[in-house]
Amino acid sequence: MFKPSILAMILAGGRVDELGVLTQYRPKSAVPFGGFARVIDFPLSNLLHSGIERVAILSQYRSYSLINHIGTGAAWDMIGRHRGVSVLPPFKGHENSDWYRGSADAVYQNLDFVRYHDPSHILILSGDHIYRMNYRELIDYHVEKDADLTAAFTEVEPEQAHRFGIGVIDFEDERGGPLTGYEEKPGSPRGNLASLTIFCFKPAVLYDALVENQKHDSFEFGRDILPMMMRRGCRMYGYRHQGYWGYTRTVDEYWKTSMDLLGETPLIDLEKWGLRTNLEHRNIRDCQPLKVGAAAVLDNSLVYNGCHVEGRVVNSILFPGVRVEKGAEVRDSVLFFNNHVHRGSRIKRVVSDVNTIFGAGCMVGGARIRDQEGITVIGWNNRVPEYFRIGRGCTVYPQLDGERWESGELADMEALQ
């Protein structure tokens, strides 16, 4: 009987504080991206195009949004007798089990699931990166080198290297070579090859490392498993990813990566990449065509079905259900599902979560208040009052009630004026 030989496990359950209110009610992997999709759609689409059809998603933090998005897995053709997507949340049982204490512990707590499928190789992936990769090429390299572990790396700006796990590779060719060093977020990096949190393991080696790791107090692949294997003298290789890679850990990075979708030759071409998403989630499939008014202006923007634009939209991304009224302007912004920008409002350098209404004459994100910089973020289910001003780099928390707006209560360290 045919059985898939590769099991992919996507680390998708966490929340990052740097994304602030965007992850207050959803895990980071479920954050909307690209005008219609979610961040986790990128590794799922990569798996589809790589022919890897047995996938487990390790989810913990506020899983409902992610589970609702994944559905049956049919959007990525992962439904059938020997293929499928399984969402694996934490559980309680007769044996010692608890909330996932880290990425390595999440896999350890599901070793019964892994052993049941008896894979020839185990692929561990992060669920919050924007990139295109044929995982088969990495796996072929892993098999060719008879490696215990092959980890993928990409070059980052040297001044940013301290934020990542940094590998040292003795390159044998342009693909990679032996991994001779690894440090997680080093103070003085030995290079700028950053880990993509893409690991291909021999199952027996991974099982042994995870069991040994349970004796310690930290349970992360980068911080604990890779250094442990290096100390043990395991056969470890680094594989260089040479294509685009976008990070979405902070609001600024999320915004910058989103802007890479725009322009005459965008760095992220969703059509060429073959990105798949679940069009039944939020009823995207049923949205009416985009409606553009006679006086509307759309300039270098992605505006999807279900939107109604009568105003001006420049260098922006609008998700289905967004309405921009006549006389309103949206510039350099990302507006999630069902935002409504009323007449005369000015929205600039803003990321706005779902179901937000901007009253007439608002000015949001454009002017600097108290020398703040960065991207203004509006949490979901908010109604910004008419003629209200919110400065640059501010955060507005979700579902503020009318009294808090009217009283001028501050949403984030003197954010509102």
Position 344 scores a pLDDT of 97
Position 417 scores a pLDDT of 37
190-210 pLDDT, tens per residue? 999 999 999 999 999 999 999
Position 335 scores a pLDDT of 98
Q: How far is CA 242 from CA 51, 119, 126, 272, 364, in A?
A: 21, 28, 18, 17, 38
Position 61 scores a pLDDT of 74
As beta bridge partners, residue 390 has 364, 416
Position 82 scores a pLDDT of 80
CB 113 within 8 A of CB 88: yes
344-354 pLDDT, tens per residue? 999 999 999 99
Rounded (5°) CA angle 55-220-182: 105
pLDDT average, residue stretch 335-352: 97
Domain ranges of the chain: 6-259, 290-407
> Is the per-residue pLDDT at 244 higher than 80?
yes
CB 2 within 8 A of CB 83: no
Q: Which residue has the tokens 């995982």?
A: 135
> What CATH number matches the domain at 6-259, 3.50.50.60, 3.40.50.460, 3.90.550.10, 3.40.50.300?
3.90.550.10
pLDDT average, residue stretch 380-404: 87
* Rg of the chain taking only CA atoms, in angstroms: 23
Query: Burial of 33 by CB count in 10 Å (0-12 exposed, 13-18 middle, 19+ buried)?
Result: buried
CB 89 within 8 A of CB 59: yes
Position 4 scores a pLDDT of 55
Position 217 scores a pLDDT of 85
58: Cβ contacts below 8 Å, ≥ 6 apart = 9, 10, 11, 12, 13, 88, 100, 103, 106, 107, 110
Position 415 scores a pLDDT of 39
What's the pLDDT band for 374 if we cut at 50, 70, 90? confident
> Nearest to residue 151, comparing CAs of 237, 44, 242?
237
Position 83 scores a pLDDT of 87
Instruction: Report the sign of the C-alpha dihedral through residues 384, 389, 392, 396, in that order.
Output: negative
Instruction: Round to whole Å and give the CA distance between 310 and 230.
Output: 59
Position 1 scores a pLDDT of 37
What's the pLDDT band for 409 if we cut at 50, 70, 90? very low
| Backbone dihedral angles phi then psi of residue 288, each to the nearest 5 degrees | -70, 160
What angle do the packed helices 135-144 and 41-50 form, to 10 degrees?
60
Q: What's the whole-model pTM score?
A: 0.92
Position 101 scores a pLDDT of 82
> Nearest to residue 166, comparing CAs of 197, 122, 129?
197
276-294 pLDDT, tens per residue? 999 998 889 899 999 999 9
Position 95 scores a pLDDT of 57
Position 400 scores a pLDDT of 82
Q: Provide the CATH topology of domain 290-407.
A: UDP N-Acetylglucosamine Acyltransferase; domain 1 (2.160.10)
> Is the per-residue pLDDT at 377 higher than 80?
yes
pLDDT average, residue stretch 316-320: 98
69-117 pLDDT, tens per residue? 999 999 999 988 888 999 887 765 545 556 788 899 899 999 999 999 9
Burial 378-407 (b: 16+ CB within 10 A, else e): bbbebbbeeebbbbbbbbbbbebeeeebee
Position 160 scores a pLDDT of 92
> Is the per-residue pLDDT at 369 higher than 60?
no
136-188 pLDDT, tens per residue? 999 999 999 999 999 999 999 999 999 999 999 999 999 999 999 999 999 99
